[in-house]
Amino acid sequence: MNYRNVKYLMGASLVSQLPHDYGIEVAFAGRSNAGKSSALNTLTEHNKLARVSKTPGRTQLINLFSLDEHRRLVDLPGYGYAKVSEKTKANWQKTLEQYLTMRQCLKGIVLLVDARHPIKNFDCMMVESAVVYQLNLHILLTKVDKLKNSEKAKAERLLGDYLKQVKAGENISFQLFSAHTGTGLEKLKQKLDLWYGLPFVDMSSVE
């Protein structure tokens, strides 16, 4: 896939506002400040595709980008905003859960986790949802350019131990990643290419 061809499609605050459930979508998710926007910009080579801000949680909509007629990249709302109400947070979380469990064209989720910190409640919720609903999930341990080799190894070991604890299957994988240096970028592209190559129903051929 040529990820440079990505184009903004739309933003939605509710699952019901999304396009028809067809083709293939791959979604990027992560806590605020986990490096999601930087990863998307690095992947697509678009400096402003996903807005990078010093104020975490700028992404408050489900933002869709088209790669071609049938394949879309999805930027899910960051979780952990500091300056919104608890009611708003709850509404966003409900929308996120609906998207993950109801969207049939969702073929994979990339979860970004800051490798410098222990896995958080939101990350655990995403992983355990993937286990329960058998969703394809690939975890990026981000910002590894800021870690020593021993710290990288520790982050991988801790995450691996957690995945064993929750009985994660082969549908769940992880890797080290740095948007700043490009570490792990090719491996991420290989995973995305695999998901975008999965079979799907072409709605234009359905009468």
pTM listed for this prediction: 0.91
Q: What pLDDT band is residue 53 in, cutting at 50, 70 and 90?
A: very low
Task: Determine, yes or no, domain membership for 203.
Answer: no
Residue 128 has pLDDT above 60, yes or no: yes
Q: Output the six-digit token pair for 161.
A: 């131990």
Task: Determine, yes or no, domain membership for 206.
Answer: no
What pLDDT does 157 receive?
97
What pLDDT does 60 receive?
72
Task: Determine, yes or no, domain membership for 30.
Answer: yes
Domain count, the chain: 1
Task: Determine, yes or no, domain membership for 170.
Answer: yes
Task: Determine, yes or no, domain membership for 55.
Answer: yes
Task: Determine, yes or no, domain membership for 56.
Answer: yes
d(CA 26, CA 9): 14
Residues 6 or more apart whose CB falls under 8 angstroms from that of 28 comprise 36, 39, 40, 73, 74, 75, 76, 109, 110, 112
The neighbouring-strand residues paired with 165 are none
What CATH number does residue 82 fall under?
3.40.50.300
Q: What Cα–Cα distance (Å) separates residue 187 from each residue in 55, 71, 96, 159, 190? A: 29, 19, 26, 18, 5
Domain span including residue 156: 3-198
What pLDDT does 94 receive?
86
Q: What is the mean pLDDT of the chain?
A: 89
Q: What is the pLDDT of residues 15-52, one digit of tens each?
A: 999 999 999 999 999 988 899 989 999 999 986 676 64
Task: Determine, yes or no, domain membership for 205.
Answer: no
Task: Determine, yes or no, domain membership for 207.
Answer: no
